[in-house]
Chains A and B, each alone.
Chain A
Amino acid sequence: MKPVPDAVEIAPNTHWIGALDPSLREFDIILKTANGTTYNAYCVRGTQGVAIIDTVKASHAEEFFRRLEQVARYDEISTIVLNHLEPDHTGALPELMRRAPQAKLYISAKAQLMLKALVKNTELDYAVVETGDSVDLGGRTLRFFSTPFLHWPDTQCTLVEELGVLFSGDVFGCHFCDTRLFNDKVGDFRFSFEYYYQHIMRPFREYVLDALALLEPLSLTVIAPAHGPILRDAPKSYMQRYRQLASPLLHNEIGSNHKSLLVFYISSYGNTAQMAHAVAEGAETVTGVRVSLYDLQAMGNLPFVDLIEEADGIAFGSPTINGDAVKPVWDLLSSLAVIKVSEKLGAAFGSYGWSGEAINMIEDRLRGLKLRVPLKGVRARLIPTEGELEKCRDLGKQLAEHLTGTVERRVISLSELLAQE
């Protein structure tokens, strides 16, 4: 593969001036890549000004400035647009601002604090922009679109109206380094595109749908993301793929008038399993709730993460072994960062031999993930009695009532709460 020494024209008077990082294998700890990544920055020339869209990671600044200098002089730069302020896109910003002090910065409202943290200068010349705002470069109009939480609060997209070129930031990007740059030239990067969505955009599914509503009506020739291939061949198909990925999976299976409660359990001697069945049985008595029961011992986490993303409530049954919940439970509970779980209903239960700490620990984890945990979990020493199974059925029933909104609102005094402990 030949090296890319120069700035590359992606549309008339519009150049890629980014940097290549082919040896990168791990990005931000959580992401892996088989062939590195690119930090894409762009230069747009109008008759009255030049705009730089994003920069690169600090370690690759020299490469960025070399390409920039091939297409513009620093004193021509009137505009710097920052679609996303994470350090891999703003590493070269302080130096760029030093070399082009006359340039005005355009950022989203939420980017202000981050900008001040990155550039320790109290007299910054920047403008806050939102959907509908634009900058005229002379024959080239930059139009801004607020697309927050894709994947930081600050993220936005910028369109060159006359060209239909959308600088999309991390949206529609991926970690894939190929000197051929364009999606119709590079190697097969589909897996990287999907992987990137699953790890970076998936927790913000609702925001993805909001952004798509803004971006889908645009007439586009090129989507130019901040990482990975530039999408000039069928750019809209990448938007369509995002819409598919962001749409709920199980809508038809559960039904829009049903709530979904998942009961996960793992059991050494069948005691926690008995409790799980009782929780499910109790929940089943409530109309409008679909209950599913899963043994965590049998499967890996992946299908369960998908199921939890679609569920309204989740309950975990774990025995207590050596004062802790068991590993498969923690494995699943530590795999939920890629989906949105806040606002879901959560609960825990389980059998124990000596101490029974697992239930409180699971409840704390669920609260830490910002689930609602309104009901105290049920614990049973070894084999659950009929009374304890009844408590499990009642827990299931109350969980289902919380899901359907039929639970009675409770009024209690602080002293009564303290007495319950």
Chain B
Amino acid sequence: MPKANVTFEKLGVTVTVPAGTRLIEISEKVGASITYGCREGECGTCMMKIVSGMENMSERSILEDQVLQENMAGRNHRLACQAQVLGGDITVKA
């Protein structure tokens, strides 16, 4: 199964995960400082910054894109409850 390496920059931890894992599944297990509200991509609470590897993330859905825009997010931001890792290396600021 394809793997992805997700590095939580502030924690100094890299987690190897199966491709397709959502960031929420990893961040909560590793204890990263990402907080969650609705967990369904609507509230924007879990907005976080991708430092590198955006090309290895799933595309934004229409809903995620709308919530990010409403929250004035930059192009490096994602919702951790929605974004999936597809493979390769990804570094997040958390």
* A9 close to B (CB within 8 Å): no
**Which of A372, A375, A408, A413 sits near B16, CB closer than 8 Å?**
A413
Interface residues of A in 363-421 (CB under 8 A from B): 363, 367-368, 370-376, 402, 407-414, 417-418, 421
Known: A110-B72, A113-B72, A370-B35. A417 touches B12 (CB 8 A): no
Contact sample, A vs B, 30 pairs, CB 8 Å cutoff? A110-B72, A113-B70, A113-B72, A153-B72, A363-B31, A367-B31, A367-B35, A368-B35, A370-B33, A372-B33, A373-B31, A373-B33, A374-B13, A374-B31, A408-B12, A409-B12, A409-B14, A410-B12, A411-B5, A411-B14, A411-B16, A412-B16, A413-B15, A414-B16, A414-B17, A414-B18, A414-B25, A414-B29, A417-B29, A418-B29
Q: What CA separation (Å) do A375 and B18 show in the bound complex?
A: 24
Contacting residues, chain A, for B72 (C-beta < 8 A): 110, 113, 153
Q: How far is the CB of A286 from chain B (nearest CB, A)?
A: 15
Chain B residues near A411 (CB-CB < 8 A): 5, 13-16
Within the complex, which residue of B5, B11, B14 is in contact with A374, where a contact is CB–CB below 8 Å? Answer: B11
Question: Which residues of B have CB within 8 Å of A407?
Answer: 12
Bound-state CA distance A113–B86 (Å) is: 33
B56 an interface residue at 8 Å Cβ cutoff?
Answer: no
Per-position 1/0 for A103-116, Cβ under 8 A of B? 00000001001000
The chain B residue sitting closest to A363, CB to CB, is: B31
Report whether B31 and A376 are in contact in the complex, using a CB–CB cutoff of 8 Å.
yes
Count contacts on A: residues with CB < 8 A to the other chain: 27
Asked whether, in the complex, the Cβ of A372 is within 8 Å of the Cβ of B10, the reply is: yes
Most buried by A among B12, B30, B72: B12
Q: Which residues of A contact B29 (CB under 8 A)?
A: 414, 417-418, 421
Cβ < 8 Å to A, chain B residues 1-43: 5, 10-18, 21, 25-26, 29-35
- A-B pairs with lowest CB-CB distance, top 3: A414-B17, A413-B16, A374-B11
Q: How far is the CB of B64 from chain A (nearest CB, A)?
A: 18
Nearest Cβ distance between residue B83 and chain A, in whole angstroms? 16
When distances are taken between beta carbons in the complex, the residues of chain B under 8 Å from A125 are: none
Instruction: Specify which of A367, A373, A421 lies most central, judged by the most chain B CB atoms within 10 Å of its CB.
Output: A367
B-contact bits for A339-379, CB 8 A (1 contact / 0 none): 00011000000000000000000010001101111111000
B15 x A412 contact (CB < 8 A): yes
Chain B residue numbers with a CB within 8 Å of A363 are 31
State in angstroms the CA–CA spacing of A374 and B27 once bound together. 11
Instruction: Using CB atoms, name the residue of chain B closest to A407.
Output: B12
Question: Measuring CB to CB, which residues of chain B are less than 8 angstroms from any residue of chain A?
Answer: 5, 10-18, 21, 25-26, 29-35, 70, 72
CB proximity of B23 to chain A, nearest CB, Å: 12
Contact with B along A231-272 (1 / 0, CB 8 A): 000000000000000000000000000000000000000000
Closest to B34 in A: A367
B12 to chain A: closest residue by CB: A409
Min C-beta distance of A185 to chain B, whole Å: 42
Please give, as numbers and ranges, the residues of chain A lying within 8 Å of B35 by CB-CB distance. Answer: 367-368, 370
Given contacts A342-B33, A373-B31, 20 further A-B contacts (CB under 8 A): A153-B72, A367-B35, A370-B33, A372-B10, A372-B33, A374-B13, A376-B31, A407-B12, A408-B12, A410-B12, A410-B14, A411-B15, A412-B16, A413-B15, A414-B16, A414-B17, A417-B15, A417-B26, A417-B29, A418-B29
CB <8 Å contact, A409 and B26: no
What's the least CB distance linking B32 to chain A, in Å? 8
Q: Complex formed: what's the CA distance from A375 to B32 in Å? A: 10
What A residues does B21 contact at CB under 8 A?
414
Is there contact, CB below 8 Å, between A414 and B15?
Answer: yes
Is the CB–CB distance between A367 and B12 below 8 Å? no
A residues within 8 A CB of B30? Answer: 412, 417
Partner of B17, one of A153, A368, A372, A413: A413
Q: Is the CB of B12 within 8 A of A374?
A: yes
Instruction: Give Cα A412 to B31, complex, Å.
Output: 13
| Cα-based distance from A374 to B14 in the complex (angstroms) | 12
Q: How far is the CA of A343 from the CA of B18 in the complex (A)?
A: 29
Q: How far is the CA of A187 from the CA of B70 in the complex (A)?
A: 44
Q: How far is the CB of A115 from chain B (nearest CB, A)?
A: 13
Chain A residues with CB below 8 A from B31, complex form? 363, 367, 373-376
In the assembled complex, which residues on chain A have CB atoms less than 8 Å from the CB atom of B16?
A: 411-414
Chain B residue at minimal CB-CB distance from A371: B33
The CA of A276 and the CA of B16, in the complex, are separated in Å by: 34
